[in-house]
């Protein structure tokens, strides 16, 4: 995703989701556009019932998020 594409997203829009291993634990994750020029990533255990990861999951650190997102938008991450 480019920065230009990112800025066309609506606040609260999920723009990437998938599976990631964090400390050898399988997790669902999702990236959500913020209200300004930022975004945040969230995760929860894969074996939990699939729910709104951005509402019930844990917030990612920048270090984890940068492995999963485009280099173009990583510096817009909100910790």
Containing domain of residue 62, as a range? 3-76
28: Cα within 13 Å, side-chain hemisphere: 15
Q: How confident is the model at residue 50 (pLDDT cuts 50, 70, 90)?
A: low
Total structural domains within the chain: 1
pTM: 0.88
Beta-sheet strand order (sheet of 14-22): 14-22, 25-33, 39-45, 58-59
The pLDDT value recorded for residue 43 is 95
């Amino acid at each position: 995703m480019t920065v230009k594409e990112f800025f066309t997203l609506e606040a609260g829009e999920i723009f990437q989701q998938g599976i990631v291993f964090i400390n050898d634990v399988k997790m669902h994750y999702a990236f959500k556009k913020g209200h300004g020029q930022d975004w945040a990533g969230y995760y929860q255990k894969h074996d939990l019932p699939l729910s709104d990861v951005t509402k019930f999951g844990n917030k990612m650190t920048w270090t984890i998020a940068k492995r999963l997102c485009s280099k173009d938008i990583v510096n817009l991450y909100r910790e």
